[in-house]
A and B are shown apart, each in its own frame.
Chain A
Amino acid sequence: MLLAGTLPAAAQAPVAAGWQLEATGLLYGEQARARVVEPMGRLTRLFANGRALSLGLAVDAITGASPTGALPSGQVQTTTSASGATTTSSSASLLPTHPFEDLRTAVDASWVEPLGTLLSATTSAHYSREQDYASLGGGLKSSIDLLGRRVTLTVGGGYNHDRVFPTGGTPVGLAPDSDPRVPGENPKEVATGLVGLAHVVNRRWLLGVTASESRERGYLTDPYKVVSLVDPATLLPDAQVTEKRPATRRRDDVLGSSVYHLQHDILYLNYRYYWDDWGVRSHTLDFKLRHDLGAAAWVQPHVRVYGQAPAWFFVYGLTHGPPLPAFASADERLGPLRTTTFGGTYGFHVPGSRGEFTLRAEFMYQWLVGHPPEAAGTSGGGGGGDHDLRRAIAAEAEGTEGNGRQFGTSIGTLLIGYSVPF
């Protein structure tokens, strides 16, 4: 979270000069979809006067399949064809997906410079590159201790210059999928600002709140996602168009954090409220409890609950007939999404050394709630009929799996970390 490192300086233990090495490996798997293997490394050099330099490197290898946003034709049990394919549906393959493989490399560097006893500034830069996306950015953050070092105020800003160059060219939005694509790059600019307040309430309790806003401009559409066009008579999707999102986005969020030291355990509680001008609003509640097992090991169970209201242009599908709306996306990540995560970390110190291992296993379940959004404007005039169509599609979806959870995905992650000062 944002407030990492904004703890009132006086409360931190004095830091001796030296190095810190962290190596982390992430294994990530979605049920029948993507797999990611991501090793990461970070090297930090701490200087005696409080300066610090940190360099990080991460490599993501992603393979698998991701949903295209097209509607499943779940009611078709089998297919007749001249090609020899039978395409009998099973519930696991209800959602059309497209396979992908990508390798993403990211490097970052940051420099912490204390300015007097109460003030510090952090400068950072990063670069990441994958097959169809490049991101270059930097930021500046400054913290000042106030009120006898009980309160820390942090102000920061950052700027990203990204380039999107989709494989196969950039599609024209809301046009047939098979239309020719435009070669070349699309820029995306992101500016972010934040302000945060961290407060030592008493010897057991830290409270913090941060507000941030970011403005994006440029190519914000997902070039690989489509929206199905449905035949109103059969409710069967029989064509698709590429999706299209607005060219600007303004995001805001407020995050409240609490760290409370109980008798033996530490309770971490975070709540974030997010809203943006695409209509997406979300609540996140995150809860962790750190429990020491003796002197050398600890466990930290974790629960996270998330709920999101959809973007105003989110649709499950569009019907043939009415003119296409200005923007539309069937990407479930912009839909009425819920995510529940639970898991835990186990950490232990390696005896005889100063290194620490952490092992985290988490399980996430993500699903779209069954009621299609009451979004207006998708058919400009055919509003009533479109609403019935969405209900009918949802009812068909219910019929296929029986509980309206057709779009639910299970995700499992394993994170192994090792960090050692030297």
Chain B
Amino acid sequence: MASPCDVLVDTDDEGVARAAVEAARDEALRVERKFSRYRDDNIVHAINHAEGRPVAVDDETAGLLDYAATCHEISDGRFDITSGVLRRAWVFDGREHPPDPRAIAAALALVGWSRATWREHTLTLPAGMEIDLGGIGKEYAVDRAAARIAEVTGAACLANFGGDLRARGPRRGGRPWFVGVENPAAPGSVPLRRLELAHGALATSGDARRFVLVNGRRLGHILDPRTGWPVEGAPRSVTVMAGSCIEAGTLATLAILRGAGAARFLEEQGVQHWLIE
């Protein structure tokens, strides 16, 4: 997952804490092994190298694909797990790189969930297309890990994988978990806000760190799958609170994909959110 993963358990019993952390870790590793696109031994690899042939998937993968399909529909195509190939057309190293329209067009030809056939536990992707569950994989792992901890102990807990987190509380004494919102301009420094979370999930999506310069204009790294170009006018950081981490993460990503319309989108959705422009 390439990010630090923290598990906090509100207990005095070291054995319980250790068991909870280990359960969370094992589950996180399991999810990563199963859904990472960097491995060559899992279902995602099989799907991405099927060369147009149908691939049968298990219940868990089917659940994720159903979720992705729903998100694609309700977001009018902005949320698309086949959009990963667009990364080949851009370099987000903070320097000036003129975009290559041919490369973008070539990549766009391989993007579009509507081109895939998904029914009855079978997914057929046209040759050359890929799915990338990176956008929801981490949040899904957080939810799964939190569920596993709940099986181990009833103590209040919080699982934070790389900034996306799910909490089960409140802590002893009725106190909520205090979660800071990172300052996107100065990661690692004093957080900008303090949120109180007793139960639920927080996910943050942001555009501040990786970017490219085009004619002096700074463009973030989140790409709109319908155009192949980076989203413009998005807030530097969007934090969403929801019941589950995958929900919070999807909403945060969808908000960013709306660019300048992020705030309005989140208000329409009726979820608690915090933006940093």
Contact = CB atoms under 8 A, between A and B. Distances in A.
Contacts of A236: 180, 190-191, 193-194
A80 B239 contact: yes
Nearest to A96: B190
Interface hub of A80, A86, A234, A237 (most chain B Cβ within 10 A): A80
A156 B164 CA distance: 65
A214 B177 CA distance: 52
A78 B177 contact: yes
Contact of B180 (A79, A228, A240): A79
Interface stretch (A57-65, A69-77, A186-194, A296-304): A69-77
A75 B194 CA distance: 9
A238 interface: yes
A80 B181 contact: yes
Interface stretch (B21-29, B46-54, B112-120, B200-208): B200-208
Contacts of B207: 82
B178 A75 contact: yes
Contacts of B190: 70, 73, 96, 228, 236-238, 240
Given A86-B160, A86-B163, A79 B182 contact: yes
B6 A86 contact: yes
A85 B182 contact: yes
B221 to A, nearest CB: 10
B2 interface: yes
B188 interface: yes
Nearest to B10: A77
A19 B150 CA distance: 76
Contacts of A83: 163, 182, 184, 187, 206, 208-209
Contacts of B8: 77-78, 88
For chain A, the bracket of interface size reads 20 to 34
A116 to B, nearest CB: 64
Interface in A79-134: 79-88, 96
A78 B208 contact: no
Contacts of B250: none
A82 B208 CA distance: 8
B270 interface: no
B3 A78 contact: no
Contact of B163 (A77, A81, A228): A81
A78 B194 contact: no
B242 to A, nearest CB: 12
A73 B176 CA distance: 16
Interface in B196-240: 202-209, 237, 239
B238 to A, nearest CB: 8
Contacts of A96: 189-190
B103 interface: no
A81 B178 CA distance: 14
B6 A84 contact: no
Contact of B182 (A75, A81, A240): A81
A73 B194 contact: yes
A85 B237 CA distance: 14
Nearest to A73: B190
Given A73-B180, A87-B180, A87-B182, A80 B6 contact: no
Contact of B179 (A79, A85, A228): A79
B192 A84 contact: no
Contacts of B164: 80
Contacts of A84: 2-4, 162-163
Nearest to A75: B178
Given A76-B178, A77-B178, A85 B192 contact: no
B180 A80 contact: yes
Contacts of A76: 178-180, 191, 194
Contact of A85 (B187, B194, B208, B239): B187
A401 to B, nearest CB: 16
B158 interface: yes
Nearest to B274: A80
Contacts of B182: 79-83, 85, 87
B209 A86 contact: no
B165 interface: yes
Contacts of B239: 80
Contacts of B184: 81-83
A83 B191 CA distance: 13
B178 A88 contact: no
A80 B203 contact: yes
Interface string A219-263: 000000000100000101110100000000000000000000000
Given A88-B8, A234-B194, A82 B179 contact: no
Contacts of B65: none
A228 to B, nearest CB: 8
A126 B62 CA distance: 77
A79 B3 CA distance: 13
Given A76-B178, A86-B6, A81 B204 contact: yes
A228 B179 CA distance: 19
A240 B158 CA distance: 30
A240 B3 CA distance: 28
Nearest to B177: A77
Contacts of A234: 193-194
B5 interface: yes
Nearest to B2: A84
Nearest to B195: A80
Contacts of A75: 178, 194
B171 to A, nearest CB: 9
A79 B160 CA distance: 8
Nearest to A79: B180
Given A83-B187, A84-B162, 17 more contacts: A77-B158, A77-B177, A78-B179, A80-B160, A80-B164, A80-B195, A81-B206, A82-B163, A82-B184, A82-B207, A85-B4, A86-B160, A88-B160, A236-B191, A238-B192, A238-B193, A240-B190
Interface of B: 2-6, 8, 158, 160-165, 177-182, 184, 187-195, 202-209, 237, 239
10 contacts: A78-B177, A79-B180, A82-B182, A82-B206, A83-B206, A84-B4, A86-B3, A86-B4, A87-B182, A236-B193
**The 10 residue pairs across chains A and B that have the minimum distance between CB atoms:** A82-B206, A81-B182, A76-B180, A81-B163, A84-B3, A84-B162, A79-B180, A88-B6, A83-B187, A80-B202
